Amino acid sequence: MNPSLNLFIIGPTGAGKTSIGRRLATHYGLPFVDLDQEIERHCGVDVNTVFEIEGEAGFRQRESALLDEFSSRRGVLLATGAGAVLAEHNRQQLGERGYVVWLQTTIEQQLERLERDHRRPLLAVPNRHERLQAMAQVREPIYRELADLAVPGEHGSVAAASERCIALIDRHWQRQPTAWPRQNA
């Protein structure tokens, strides 16, 4: 078991990293950090604009720098972007600095959840299903290898999914005695 003070959420686009991550952070009394939102805050523009100006390579450099900054803190819940795991140094930092929870989902669930979302530059393609399949082929083996805990995706509310995550995390995560206390125990 990973006895880290940090909790890191990974998974594909539309898995619920931000929505569930916020609830987990509240439950465990941790500050919540959404990596994509931090990139936007630091750049002063949305992710689409960063992609337009700097391309994916520029975005990934910014993502890696902020992942390094936030993952080196103690006692934080960090929701990564779906592609943050692509860089080896990011995977190393996540694995060494926190307990990594992989929120799983199906492509059908992603399509349903992202139907009206047009903010994601990598999904600005005519065939989203095909793009999501290609991304899953590359990323799922990485998520699987990196995760300390995999949480199966199921249909249902964010509240129900969050409760399922909490139950699994509490059962599997062995925190150090000096770890932060749970607020809602």
Annotated binding site for substrate: 36, 60, 139
Distance CA 137, CA 68 (A): 26
pTM: 0.86
Annotated binding site for Mg(2+): 18
Q: Where are the domains of the chain?
A: 7-172
Annotated binding site for ATP: 14-19, 120
Annotated binding site: 14-19, 36, 60, 120, 139
Each residue of 5-38: pLDDT tens digit? Answer: 899 999 998 888 999 999 999 999 999 999 999 9
Cβ neighbours of 69 (radius 10 Å): 12
Tell me: pLDDT of 82 over 80: yes
105 vs 110, higher pLDDT: 105
Kindly state which CATH superfamily the domain 7-172 is placed in: P-loop containing nucleotide triphosphate hydrolases (3.40.50.300)
Identify the band that residue 40 occupies on the pLDDT scale cut at 50, 70 and 90.
very high
Distance CA 69, CA 25 (A): 18
